[in-house]
Amino acid sequence: MHFFTGIQETQDLCQKWRDKVESIAFVPTMGCLHEGHLSLVEKAKSLAQHVVVSIFVNPLQFDDVNDLAKYPHTLEDDRLKLEELGIDLLFAPDVDAFYPEGEHAVKQTDLGQITAILEGAQRPGHFAGVATVVERLFGLIQPNIAIFGEKDFQQLMVIQKLVKEFSLDIEIVGMPIFREEDGLAMSSRNLRLTEAEREKAAEIYQQLALLRKEILAGANNFAVLEQLAIENLIKAGFEPEYVVIRETSTLLPPVNHSDDKVILIAAKLGETRLIDNIRV
């Protein structure tokens, strides 16, 4: 496995593969790799000749400086895990190498409405930061395929919009959420939960499953269902930010009962903000 922190060496190696018409699958991450990430890497291995993983905690996508400061960094562990999986290249730049013009001087990518609702409304500027870093990574690596987890459901839609808007020839693959035994969606942020919080954290998944069951049984008063889950989460000790039932392809409120739906929750448990979703 190559381990690069520099832009030029990364660009050169990827260019060498492309010159030989060898395919590249790319998994962008912010590190602190768990089984969910590793499933993305396994998928990447099955889809292309070369696998590139990036680890970069992108300051542009954090709306809260404390959140950025507390983000876990586990590069040595991550490196070993990726080495074991046999990927071709781990790219882990530092902020100055990645944004040589200075992170505050970077012109950010704006993808419109999809970036303004839900996570975008709760975390202003978050998706502009995500789109900016992913656009730059795509430009550097120029993969054939890029793989993202569906836990960040809205992020996946933002990336699909990015690829469409800039006519990038990259196939975007979404992978199902990996869950702990009690249903908690795997996330690097779970490490921040105290023992007592960790015991409660799967309540988010239980509320998603409950709403899904109600909808499948014919319930269609979505506002009532959303409110019910909010109250249950508050009772369990969460501070819910949103519980919404949305149309899958737009993330807007469903118009027809037959629309494909996704239920999305964001809630704080103590100091930790958790998100999760389930399709109906």
Active site residues: 37
Q: Is residue 207 at the binding interface for ligand PAF, with CB under 6 A as the rule?
A: no
Question: What is d(CA 38, CA 197) in angstroms, rounded to the nearest whole number?
Answer: 25
Strand partners, 28: 54
Query: In this complex, which beta carbon is closest to ligand PAF, that of residue 3 or of residue 231?
Result: 3
Least separation, in Å, of the C-beta of 196 and ligand PAF? 27
**Which residue of 10, 29, 115, 272 would you call a contact of ligand PAF, by CB under 6 A?**
29
Q: Is residue 254 at the binding interface for ligand PAF, with CB under 6 A as the rule?
A: no
Site for ligand PAF in 136-155 (CB under 6 A): 152, 155
Least separation, in Å, of the C-beta of 58 and ligand PAF? 4
Query: In this complex, which beta carbon is closest to ligand PAF, that of residue 133 or of residue 193?
Result: 133
DSSP 1-20: -EEE--HHHHHHHHHHHHHT
Q: In what order do the strands lie in the sheet with 261-269?
A: 239-247, 261-269, 272-279
For 11, list phi and psi in degrees, rounded to 5: -60, -45
**Which residue of 1, 7, 30, 163 would you call a contact of ligand PAF, by CB under 6 A?**
30
What the block records as the tokens of 82 is 């990726």
> What CA–CA distances, in Å, run from 33 to 54, 72, 80, 163?
11, 10, 10, 25
Least separation, in Å, of the C-beta of 59 and ligand PAF? 10
Site for ligand PAF in 48-67 (CB under 6 A): 58, 61
Strand partners, 145: 25, 171
> What CA–CA distances, in Å, run from 126 to 112, 135, 263?
13, 14, 21
Query: In this complex, which beta carbon is closest to ligand PAF, that of residue 130 or of residue 251?
Result: 130
Q: Is residue 134 at the binding interface for ligand PAF, with CB under 6 A as the rule?
A: yes
The residues that touch ligand PAF, with contacts defined as CB under 6 A, are 28-30, 58, 61, 130, 133-134, 152, 155
